Structure 1
């Protein structure tokens, strides 16, 4: 099976621009009377249009700046769509602050057959500091109700010419028309990249431009050629989440720009395009990365006490240090490839960001002569970068090269085992930076399946309830998921939560083994009484052997699929059911036995059983042996999951003798 290619460059070709005008200030009665979207009656709101343009200004003391102007017009169809009337624009507040300004903000309503305009005031705008580097400006439109149309303009002025903002043509609501134009001086060269599944239409022309600016001696001007690129799409559907997919930002139709080079007068050609190798080298040289990673004095005494005179092999040392670091720190939930307060202070305070915690783990292992290295990754909620950039990475883990393999470690999660990363970190690829300075791309998706082995002993009571004993054995990521959920609450709360999710289930004599031994599988054992999934009709019993286990529905209901199918990690489920036939009954009907598998065993399912005297022993197995499938594999996955769902919910029939 060919590996799915997530992104592609759109074919850009010139066509005639749509002649329709898209301007603020023009709202019709028909638009206000519109009750539903023309192509999507379920839409809560719609962008009637969103028009953006980016151009350059010039000042003698600071050079070129980027100005982005955006005009937006939105129709509200349902109460759930009211939030679309508000707009938040994030902006840099670093050394030189980006400026944001809203204008032309109006809400339109139809009252007694007349169009009523409500203009936004200064009280409709709010400022917020997100962190040391980022702030936001928020516009809250007035007098918005179902049926309203809102429109506004915002302008973002930035000194950072390398950071032309991404333009998203598509959104979570339908977009009738989206257009973006950039005007680029002949001195600047940008690479263009696209995401999504729509061919972005394009028109381009070259014009001469003259910019006036003020100098110390008076007014001056410059003339140059600029390339004007217009990109546009029409009638875009809402981007909708599909089951088993990662960040939707990866698939929204959009366009991005990378500053490739500059050639200013009297300045020569300067290249900015990087490779992943050069990006990694640059990150390693950053003082909040490389320098912090090489510090050791703050933990050396603790490391000596930890190891002492113990006779340990390398694997045992790795495990001991990993447990020490996990249990020393409380992760502050901040993601970064760079330290914030520094490894020494974080160690003393016993709390830090992901870099501070995992840098300590790496440094300790290196001090013991173990080949440990940082691995840069992008978390699952972050879109994958289309081109090499330091901004591509926002998380760092530890990789130990051991016996021609790499062991992945993340000490931010005290319930994680060796080579078992938390869900947020499982995003396919990472880049390892070794102490020698070399770096390489590596696959971090698990190749070994997490397992769930369930043993069920079932009998039928005199009052027609199922009862017996259940044992569950959970390994790897399934064990990690259990530990996180289990340790978030008290035992009573946990069991109450389980019983609420499974109506008719009563649990007693509950026990769990290895909840703190993260390298061992979780083993749950409990007695149960269950008064569902058994029907008695005309003296016959209809019983589902897997009871409340297995698929509750086929998660793949749609006829077709656009996005790849991402299970995050491979998994194997195994059900061993020993069902005791009650006295006075015999088997009238059993499900058909089945074994199926895809050509390369990516998916496999078997439903087998054997009747032994007054018991039926079921052996059911469902294996998903790949974490990621391309969307064109959907026609295989969907029917397999449907067969699994139907078979897991099939009932046996018992009749009286």
Structure 2
């Protein structure tokens, strides 16, 4: 069989070379098995050339060929090129090749689709994308694209990461940046096998990087985010200009000075609004109460919409416009909130931040635009109050999973200053639950569960309250209530005013609360919070272990057991501790009541790969303890 396959492959190669004259460039059979193993696609070649013409403009040309090995790799055959008022697409070319490397199609202009890239909550955006997709009926095949863009938004330079997804390999990729005289390139290298080569070509400096034979990288369970694991080069300007606003990015201070230019004169509000604010806070005794009152005034008066037009992507609309129209994006609403605080004599700062659950760390020693959002920072004598200005339901001072535990760039009168936002400890993110259950001799029961969620643990339910109608809220509760069998007879979800907290109350029917065997009832006392996810054993772990959230869970379940039953078998108290957290649980009889109490505390942190098996063993013990049963037996007369 192997011999016949070899003959077949040789005949295919002979056929291929008869029309090409030599080995086809994109012959799929020549891919090194070490690269194709575990891959859905292989980048055969990628060339990125970034040419800075001046502080005002640059061009970027990308040529890439990708061999798609299977259906899951098909997304790599799709080209998406974003553009807007400040970034133009000069051209797009493309071709597709079969498994032998024979060209079987060319991208036509009519096949390049143009779509709006405007978000659902946007009022004005000029973001658009050009999309091309080439393929053949059978795998593997290779697509080749070449395109060029021209940018007049020189706040941003290119970030090069050829291995941009899991189950992707790279045969060869190169990155070249050409800088004009007097404009040295600022760059940051991550995991690149060889450092930059720099050479002089006339008056220009050329910086170059190259990688070869990058096998697929797969994140390990509880490992670092993918972007930390791959070779990457980030580049940034020294001097730059965007639509007449010139600045430098060599320090965080100078970045803030540029933002101050954009903000200058845009913080004026009508006199009538100033008087409203002053009257609102006149009789409030503390700075904190005044901040909360002004924040709620802003929330009640405005709504969030996205407005991204040219320099408007970084420059806020005037506070007077927000005051009159009642809407704005994160920049405009933050600038407006700052103006309201100014009217009350309260000092605050416009603050740039990277918002999102992925929490990409800021490169502190590489000043550049690493932010996607704006909030307000209010220093006080006691603490610093952070204000998220795009939400009508957010609480003053609460940063949460979106903007907590990361760096923010304060835009002070003196320029930019990098500071950290609050870090959440386990006791900031609490789930505290008390359950009352009545069990009958048939193994069924009814119950009532009252749970308080605080901090990050309250966010999902706050979102449900904010986004869903009651019938959709109920569906969400069914999906997210962890009881083996149950029916919700009634529920309430309530956001606690002025605090990052949600109260949930469930009235439950429990048709399979206990298993019945003769005169015995078998019950798992941990009704609603059993840990079931345990990662696989891996003694050869390579990646760091990342636990991404601190939290503290307390569950107390009180069972009223049927008359005539007593505990025949009870699990012993469990207490476990590790570098990752602590767990304890115990169950006991108090008269006719079975009382179960469980606590689990987990600590956010990053650990060496050697600690992975400690995490696995800890979670195994927690899972095992959560499944322990109590045996109740009917007393014989």
Aligned match for 2:389, one of 411, 420, 425: 411
With structure 2 as the length reference, what TM-score do the two structures score?
Answer: 0.80
Summarize the alignment of residues 35-114 of structure 1 with structure 2, pairs less than 5 Å apart.
Answer: 43=39, 45-54=40-49, 56=51, 68-91=60-83, 93-94=85-86, 97-108=87-98
Q: Match of 1:392, SS?
A: coil
The separation in 1 between residues aligned to 2:55 and 2:528, in whole angstroms, is: 67
Distance 1:142 1:303, change over 3 A: same
Aligned match for 1:229, one of 208, 221, 240: 208
Distance 1:297 1:129, change over 3 A: farther
- Partner of residue 410, structure 2: 432
- Partner of residue 148, structure 2: 155
Q: Match of 1:562, SS?
A: coil
- Partner of residue 306, structure 1: 280
The separation in 1 between residues aligned to 2:193 and 2:383, in whole angstroms, is: 43
The farther-off stretch of 474-483 and 515-524 is 515-524
- Partner of residue 543, structure 2: 562
Summarize the alignment of residues 127-142 of structure 1 with structure 2, pairs less than 5 Å apart.
Answer: 127-128=114-115, 130=117, 134-142=127-135
The separation in 2 between residues aligned to 1:64 and 1:328, in whole angstroms, is: 39
The separation in 2 between residues aligned to 1:162 and 1:304, in whole angstroms, is: 38
The separation in 2 between residues aligned to 1:203 and 1:310, in whole angstroms, is: 62
After superposition, give the CA deviation of every residue in 1:21-51 in whole Å (9 maximum; x if it has no partner).
Answer: xx996233636xx9x97567654x2124232
The separation in 1 between residues aligned to 2:146 and 2:230, in whole angstroms, is: 23
- Pick the structure with more helix per residue: 2
Distance 1:401 1:181, change over 3 A: closer
- Residue 619 of structure 1 and its aligned partner are, at CA, apart by 1.8
Summarize the alignment of residues 311-390 of structure 1 with structure 2, pairs less than 5 Å apart.
Answer: 311-333=284-306, 338-380=314-356, 383-386=360-363, 388-389=366-367
| Aligned pairs, number | 591
Answer yes or no: is 1:467 the counterpart of 2:446. yes
Answer yes or no: is 1:579 the counterpart of 2:559. yes
Aligned match for 2:428, one of 449, 452, 456: 449
Aligned match for 2:488, one of 483, 486, 507: 507
Aligned 8 A contact 1:54 1:66 in 2: no
Aligned 8 A contact 1:89 1:100 in 2: no
- Partner of residue 631, structure 2: 653
- Partner of residue 169, structure 2: 175
Summarize the alignment of residues 109-124 of structure 1 with structure 2, pairs less than 5 Å apart.
Answer: 117-124=104-111
- Residue 472 of structure 1 and its aligned partner are, at CA, apart by 0.5
The separation in 2 between residues aligned to 1:590 and 1:40, in whole angstroms, is: 54
Structure 1 vs Structure 2 CA RMSD: 3.8
Q: Match of 1:553, SS?
A: coil
The separation in 1 between residues aligned to 2:110 and 2:92, in whole angstroms, is: 12
Aligned 8 A contact 1:556 1:641 in 2: no
Distance 1:638 1:412, change over 3 A: farther
Q: Match of 2:265, SS?
A: helix
Aligned 8 A contact 2:376 2:387 in 1: yes
Name stretches of at least 5 consecutive residues in structure 1 with no aligned partner: 1-22, 210-222, 263-269
Aligned 8 A contact 2:354 2:403 in 1: yes
Q: Match of 1:497, SS?
A: helix
Distance 1:143 1:583, change over 3 A: same
Aligned 8 A contact 1:379 1:427 in 2: no
Distance 1:164 1:239, change over 3 A: farther
Summarize the alignment of residues 485-634 of structure 1 with structure 2, pairs less than 5 Å apart.
Answer: 485-502=464-481, 504-513=485-494, 515=495, 517-519=497-499, 521-532=501-512, 534-537=514-517, 539-554=519-534, 560=541, 562=543, 565=546, 567-568=548-549, 570-598=550-578, 603-626=581-604, 628-630=605-607, 632=609, 634=612
Aligned 8 A contact 2:88 2:149 in 1: yes
